[in-house]
Amino acid sequence: MRSDNTPITLDLFADQAPSTPGQTERIGQQAFVLRGFALPWLERLLPDLEAVLRAAPFRQMVTPGGFTMSVALSSCGALGWTTDRSGYRYTSRDPQSGQPWPDMPAVFRELAQAAARAANFEHFEPDACLINRYVPGARMSLHQDKNERSLTAPIVSISLGLPAVFQFGGFERSDKSLRVPLFHGDIVVWGGVDRLRYHGVLPLKDGAHPQLGAQRINLTFRTAG
């Protein structure tokens, strides 16, 4: 299943082997990759994800600089992340429908909390789940997540579908970044001293995932409000 495994560029952790379900890899003082952590939850999670996406379909958004993002986005929970010409922000309504974002399904919240706990973040209360869809060629350039009101809560990030190479960098955009391959079911959790690290996703390679087809879907849970 993971025979297409791209080796990690192990600048800092040269003794760690890539991706084995159940394994935890530490990529920072308070940053962890939980390999395959979501797999046992997906039978419950995927139908709820489909329902969320029927209510709030993926759409491509425009950055304040006027570029259309290659990644398509949606959200669920009390707050959803949006961008347009006037800036990045969280809103309580989907600007496309004018309706509140779909509720965060219980299984989403429970999984995000279980993953946060596994990474030593107790009492995580996510109020926003951003859903990113990558098709082959789509990428996320290096950025910091800093639109959340409180930066004390961690971020929990679930990867589904095609594999991707996640870049995990420093506190300046130009800092060297670690390249971490992420596979279907992997969860990245980070917070604390690592919360404002630059990060991104390299252009998605072509492929077809047996369950999700030619796409990668990433769910990121935050305490935004």
Q: Which is nearer to ligand MD6, 56 or 153 (CB)?
A: 153
In angstroms, the Cα distances linking 84 to 37, 108, 141 are 34, 27, 17
3-state secondary structure of 27: strand
Least distance CB 93 / ligand MD6 (angstroms): 22
What is the spatial distance between Cα 3 and Cα 136, in angstroms, rounded to a whole number?
Answer: 19
Q: Which is nearer to ligand MD6, 34 or 201 (CB)?
A: 201
Tell me the backbone φ, ψ of residue 108, rounded to 5 degrees.
-65, -50
What is the spatial distance between Cα 130 and Cα 82, in angstroms, rounded to a whole number?
Answer: 9
Instruction: Show the binding pattern over residues 116-145: x = contacts Fe ion (CB under 5 A), - = does not.
Output: -----------------------------x
Cβ(171)–Cβ(197) below 8 Å: yes
Cβ(80)–Cβ(90) below 8 Å: yes
Ranges within 28-57 binding ligand MD6 (CB under 6 A): none
45 binds, among Fe ion, ligand MD6, none (CB under 5 to 8 A by kind): none
Instruction: Show the binding pattern over residues 151-180: x = contacts ligand MD6 (CB under 6 A), - = does not.
Output: ----x-x--------x--------------
Q: Which is nearer to ligand MD6, 99 or 175 (CB)?
A: 175
Q: Which of 113, 97, 178 is nearest to 142 (CA)?
A: 178
Among 75, 132, 167, 177, binds ligand MD6 (CB under 6 A): 132
Ranges within 177-206 binding ligand MD6 (CB under 6 A): 188, 199, 201
Q: Which two tokens stand for residue 73?
A: 């986005």
What is the spatial distance between Cα 145 and Cα 155, in angstroms, rounded to a whole number?
Answer: 9
Cβ(150)–Cβ(222) below 8 Å: no
177 binds, among ligand MD6, Fe ion, none (CB under 5 to 8 A by kind): none
Least distance CB 103 / ligand MD6 (angstroms): 22
**Interface contacts to ligand MD6, rule CB under 6 A:** 132, 140, 145, 155, 157, 166, 188, 199, 201, 218, 220
Q: Which residues bind Fe ion (CB under 5 A)?
A: 145
